[in-house]
Structures are given as C-alpha cells and as structure tokens.
Amino acid sequence: MLALTAKALYTPLEKIDGPLVLIDEGSVLKLGPQAGSETPPRCRIRDFGDCILAPGFVDMHTHGAAGYDLMGGDPDGQTAVNTFLVRHGVTSYFPTTVTAPMDKTLAALEHLADAIESEKDARTGQAQPIGIHIEGPFLSHTRRGMHPPENLQKPSLAAFEKLWQAARGHIRVMTIAPELDGALEVIADATKRGVCVSIGHSDADLDQARKGVSAGARHATHTFNAMRPLDHRVPGIIAEVLTNPKVSAEVIVDGIHVHPSVVQLLAKAKGVESTVLVTDATAATGMPDGRYYLGLVEIEVKNGMCLHGGTLAGSVLTLDRAVRNLMDFAQWDLQQAVRAAGLNPAKTTRAQNKGFLQVGADADLVVLNSKGEVQATVVKGVISQ
C-alpha cells in the first residue's frame, strides 16, 4: 500500500488542502484531508511537499514521440513513446493513425490493438495506450492537410467494418468529415459502437456540420485547423463547434497551430467543461530538428514547426506544455487547465476510471509545482520521475 501527501490535490472539480491519497493494487483506496486520517501500518509514504496532485493527463490525439511513429508497429518504439509521455504527465493516451494505404492502416491497427491488450493490466509506471483514434481515411480532400489524397476514401460501412475488425474493437475515436457522401451512416454506426465521433478535416457548411452532430458526432478534431474558416455570414463547421454545448472541442495550444487570442476565444466559448487539450504530437516530439515520418509521410521539423510541403503536419507539443500555455493564453488557473488535459478528454472518450480522482478510480496522478511543471507521475500506483 502507498500513501501520497502534498500541499494540495485537484480532483479536479474540488481542491483538497493537505491531502492524503491511499493507493492499493493500482487503485485509489481512500482520498481526503490528511488531518484526522490514519495511515495504515506498513504503508509506504511519499510526501511531495509543496506540490499539487492532479489526475494524470489523457492525450486523445497523438501520433508519436521520441523518434517513433505509433503506426510503425515497433515494440521498442512503443516503449520509448510510453516512457517519454509519462515524463510529461501523460498516464493514458489514444495512439492516432493518419491516412495511409488500407493494408498499412489495417496492419497498424492490429499492432496498436496488441499494445493495448498487452499493457491493459501492466503496472510499469509508463503511459498506457487505452484506445485508438483513427484520423482518416474519411476526410475532405479540400481540408486534408498532410493526409495523402490518393489514400482518402469515401465513408462506407464496409470500410469502417474492416477498420473495426483489424482494431479488434479498440477504436475509441474517429475523425470524419460529415459532409462526405456516406458519412452520416458511418457516424451513426460508429456511435452505436461507443466510438467518440469527431468532426474534422472538413469543409462542411453549418447545416452539414449540424447533420453530423445529429447523427452522433460529439467532438471536434484540432479545432480551427483543417476546417472551413469561420465567416460571419456563412459560419460553417466552426460555428457549430463553438456554439453547440453538446460538442467538445480539442485544440493544439502550441502557439503555432492556433493564435493565443483565438485559443482564448475557444476557451471562452467552450468553457472549462468542453475545452480539450491535445498535442497532435509526431515522432519528432522530444527530438532535434530534422526529418521524421508521420505515418508514411516524411515531415521536416524546424524551429518547433512540423511541415510537409509547406503544410503543418502535427506538432512537437507535450501535454504539460499545453497546460502551461493554456494558463498563459486564456488566463486560466492551474486547476482549470489540468481539467482540460485530464477530466475533459477522459469524459469525451468515456475512458473509465480516468481523469478524476475518487475512491475506486485508477491511481493515475501527475505531480505538479505551482507553475504546472511535472515533478513526478503515478500510473496505477507506480511512481515515475
């Protein structure tokens, strides 16, 4: 049994001063103020002093890190990514595919399903993949970004079934352009299977976006990026994302993908309940400038920007940096910002026992100083620094 103490704890909805967290067999056994609480005998105690305990971060959109792309199927690469992410406060994540030839995509889904199943009950102290996010192939040619046009497909139930079977049911998020022929049927089918359908890489007008939401979509992929721009007379997809309280919105807060003032606009529109921080990180994350791969596409990284043919292609952002940037750009406090990196993505993806600290939840925590810098991470009760 392990006991954690610190200056404060964010559940994140509630702040507890001088907390005591008891952990047993990877789960939270007891949580509350330390004052008046007894620590069981033979319990290991770890005091984090003036630090703050918060739910571990959940990244629902990441392609890789530490020199490895998650579609590569390399076990060593998977371990390197898991190790890198946990150093930045991420305890759970959704490895994300990019558009590729169908056979390559199906093989990648099988490898990712293997990783999820093999690590489900592991207690290694590393970040754990808990579901797959498929970004493509059902995307708009007009707003495809770096996704290869020759591999984009018209949405169909048959194509989605192939993806679903290869992933052995581990698809938890799907990005799709709702205006495409066949998209509404696929959205409805995926929603019935428990998938968080996310509208993105889309040139949808307002009516098309609303039809996608009515069919079951409830999230937006890297809001503002790879979307029809907001127009005050023909508002399009972004107006639906910003005004519909049923739609959560992910945003890449690196200061490159979205201007800080527009991040502030999104944060005000979606609020602390529906703003979701993601990284859209690539293999280049944590690495020096150079050339890397995003799926099968070569990208060039220079001065913090990932580019393919002059188009932004992912990022080198880490989720802890995104938390600090959100505090700066939107003038949110740390308690609000960690919610956007933990509870909100967990709620959006319906990840069980993640993103909220309570009795019975997984003992996934991030230990932060007052600036939001990671001091340690706890995954299922195993401390990693």
Q: So which residues are the catalytic ones? A: 280
Nearest Cα to Cα of residue 216 among 230, 200, 197:
197
For residues 96 and 147, give the distance between their C-alpha atoms in angstroms, rounded to a whole number.
Answer: 13
Length of the chain: 385
C-alpha torsion 160→163→166→168, nearest 10: -60
Q: What share of the chain is helix, strand, coil (3-state, %, to 5)?
A: 30, 30, 40
Contacts of 176 (CB under 8 A, 6+ apart): 138, 139, 155, 183, 186, 187, 197, 198, 199, 200, 202, 212, 217
- The DSSP result for 333-355, as a single string, is -HHHHHHHHTHHHHHHHT-TT-S
Tokens of 239: 């107006």
Q: At what angle do helices 102-119 and 157-166 cross, to 10 degrees?
A: 40
For residues 311 and 301, give the distance between their C-alpha atoms in angstroms, rounded to a whole number.
Answer: 12
